[in-house]
Amino acid sequence: MAYKPSHGGRHITVNIDIKLSHLDDVSLICQIQKGSHEAFAALVCRHSNRFYRITYRLVSNKDDAEDIVQEAFLKLWGRPKLWDPNKRAKFTTWFYKVIINQCFDHNKKKKPSDLPEGMEEFVDKNPGQDALLDAHQKQAILERFIRELPERQQLALNLCFYEGLSNNEAAEIVGVKVKALQSLLMRAKTALKDKVERYLYGGLI
């Protein structure tokens, strides 16, 4: 069975062994360490969409997101022993960290003026009222402001609210205690509220 990730799959095309798709991540990684292309295909099929989602939210460009996810999976294929199943971290927790680090490295290379996809068509407009914006515009504005937050704040928001991870798992990925994660979330929400209100009623852009 051929598989391409639903977000585009421009680069990774794999054949899925249905039997392997029922194995857990640890078993698949063990098979990958033995050179199993089929196990790698099953792992990509299982997780590529979730990692694409967080990647796209962090880099705001479809092609860049696909490239980053592809690169991360191919690195895993080339060096499958980078993740040690005997350690405490789950595969997904560890791979989130790999993906996130690549996203932040990518963003540091971009010009500060780069805008998320979808913003260009109305970024020069200056609506004075919330009613002037449609749902797409509101979402694009919100995503832009999330990207302007400090890295750990935007990461906490994306993991908890968009990826639906528990505070415990999100805290492990971010590398902080749960209470610190909750503080990051509170500061992020406060900052977002202020940015949105200033944009809507004060003409921030």
pLDDT, one tens digit per residue, over 26-35 is 999 999 999 9
| Residue 190, domain CATH | 1.10.10.10
For the entire predicted model, the pTM comes to: 0.73
Range among 11-15, 106-110, 135-139, 169-173 rated most confident: 169-173
pLDDT, position 108: 82
Would you place residue 4 in the very low, low, confident or very high pLDDT band (cuts 50, 70, 90)?
very low
Is the confidence at residue 2, as pLDDT, over 60? no
- Residues 95 and 127 grouped into a single domain: no
- Residues 72 and 33 grouped into a single domain: yes
Would you place residue 23 in the very low, low, confident or very high pLDDT band (cuts 50, 70, 90)?
confident
Interior angle at CA 3, CA 39 and CA 93, nearest 5: 55
Alpha-helical (H) ranges within the chain are 25-33, 37-59, 62-78, 91-108, 135-148, 151-157, 167-174, 178-202
Q: How far is CA 103 from the centre of its chain?
A: 8
- Choosing from 56, 86, 111, the residue where a domain stops is 111
Domain carrying residue 56 = 1-111
- Residues 147 and 183 grouped into a single domain: yes
CB 74 within 8 A of CB 82: no
Give pLDDT tens digits for 37-81: 999 999 999 999 999 999 998 998 999 999 999 999 999 999 988
Looking at the structure of the chain, the number of domains it has is 2
Q: What is the rounded distance in angstroms from the CA atom of residue 50 to the CA atom of residue 153? A: 20
What's the token pair of residue 109?
């290379």
Would you place residue 9 in the very low, low, confident or very high pLDDT band (cuts 50, 70, 90)?
very low
CB 40 within 8 A of CB 14: yes
pLDDT, position 176: 94
Look at phi and psi of residue 12 and say left if phi exceeds 0, alpha if psi is from -120 to 50, else beta.
beta
- Residues 105 and 9 grouped into a single domain: yes
Would you place residue 111 in the very low, low, confident or very high pLDDT band (cuts 50, 70, 90)?
low
- Residues 77 and 1 grouped into a single domain: yes
- Residues 5 and 34 grouped into a single domain: yes
- Residues 102 and 186 grouped into a single domain: no
In the chain, the amino acid numbered 157 is: L
